[in-house]
Structure 1
Amino acid sequence: MSTPRTERAAAPREVADGYRAGRTLPVRVELVRQLKRRRTLVMGGLLAALPFVLLIAFAVGGEPEGRPGQISLMDSATASGANFAAVTLFASAGFLLVVPVALFCGDTVASEASWSSLRYLLAAPVPRARLLLSKLTVGLALSLAAIVLLPLVALAVGTAAYGWGPLHLPTGGTLPAGTATGRLALTVAYVFVSQLVTAALAFWLSTRTDAPLGAVGGAVGLTIIGSVLDEVTALGDWRSLLPAHWQYAWLDAVQPRLDPAGMIQGSSLSVTYALVLFALAFRGFARKDIVS
């Protein structure tokens, strides 16, 4: 015999006419919301301004000089627009690009909680998985846009200042301008994939805390710790398990002969860690008691 409680549980839920869970919080709506936020505009402005800052620095300081006895990509920064773009990416990939990725992926859910609007979104009702998927898609899209924007502006600024020409390699020789552009595109793609760990860390923390600064700062801090640990040579082969160990594997793309082995290993490690963290974010958020 069924009890009233069982009958209530088995009864179908009433759904408003026209309601479709898959149409709630469309990605385009979330994208427009995030694009209008001040932090998005400020971050985009800072990234677009960096190549001009480097251009002024080279104009004031003269030709770049490397360390005595060492040859680096920085030595040929003013050789062509392609070189200037590569140097800009080299100077920013280690830390600067971590910040927008952590910001766009770590601020997204936690900011709604801090504004006390998260529970209203879920009461709309927006399914939890749908909400996370929309916010993650937009966060990754903005992160990719930030990573693409910097070298794209640098290439335009460098070409205007130093001309369109081949990529001068630090080890000697050059790559034709067309080939160099393709290698830079490959580099940008790898930098984005390598930043997926930071994005996943920030997103997971964003589902665990109501403080956006905590999620963003936590992701940046853990990324820095990984970079510090990679410098500890006593760890030996254990360092190869750190995503930071492969963050500059893209330098193999600015060599006479492309060797993708390091980028493949780094990409595999980054994607694996990211998928685990994304899964934890969705699993934890599905069971979380939303009170904000």
Structure 2
Amino acid sequence: MKLWTSYHFPLKIYCRKKLGKRLIIDKNGNDEQERSLLSKLKQFFGAQFTSKMEGMLNDVTVAKEQQSKYEDYKRANPESNPSVVLNVQILTTGHWPSYKTVDINLPSEMVKCVGTFSQFYHSRTKHRKLNWIYSLGICNVFGMFEPKVIELIVTTYQIVTQLNLSEDDTVRVLHSLSCAKYKILNKEPSNRTISPHDVFEFNHKFTDKMKRIKVPLPPSDEKKKIMDDVNKDRRFAIDAALVRIMKSRKIMTHQNLVAECVEHLSRMFKPDNKMIKKRIEDLITREYLERDKDASAMD
């Protein structure tokens, strides 16, 4: 039971983070498809596994209704209406994964946006606190390049002039704007690494065949850590499946053992044959399994 619980905890975190990215950053998903997927996960893993993810989808539905009311508020209060179009999603803390929150120096236009929405929100809800997660923000800005004007879809971090970010986040932002596919900034020296003494300037001559482009940030180390945790717990799940199979079967050929292990785990994930072979070797080394000395050598 410990192996079962251990495996599903990081998987649940991974699913929540992926769902959060689709709902907030990518925004290309279909709510009905997401609910259908959650229904299947719920049938297999249980209601506790999906409860927070269902709450995330409900937050998105409520946010659409709230955005309409915010637009009504701005029309009723034209003196506080900012020049920048702002769309806000309120995330219930208990439902969503934890996201990094830092104070950054926003442009004055965005400061007014934040103030106006805060006034609207607190006029309707007195006992809740807003924590702005700027790391999830997406902005559409118009780049006035010499060849033509291009609409850029960037993160909030990529538009502020005085970032006040950590060194790691600053490196990611500068890399996305100068070293990746779209060279919005010129960098000297013109290599693909970011160093403290590099010099950056706006690339006035930048152009692209598209009129609207998305400039993504490179992935953070957090994604790698999640994948490492998932792979670690998959190894535990494979070990448990192999031991259970061998306790039941007593003797099996290597080929049949691998095939039954794949079938045993197929409803949770599709294990790689090479990983299963490594797990068999590890279990033999730790004396959980042993080779039949009368049988031919394992492939």
TM-score by length of 1: 0.24
State which structure, 1 or 2, has the greater radius of gyration over its C-alpha atoms: 2
Higher RCO (Cα < 8 Å, 6 or more apart):
1
Q: Which protein has the bigger helix share?
A: 1
Q: Which protein has the bigger strand share?
A: 2
TM-score by length of 2: 0.24
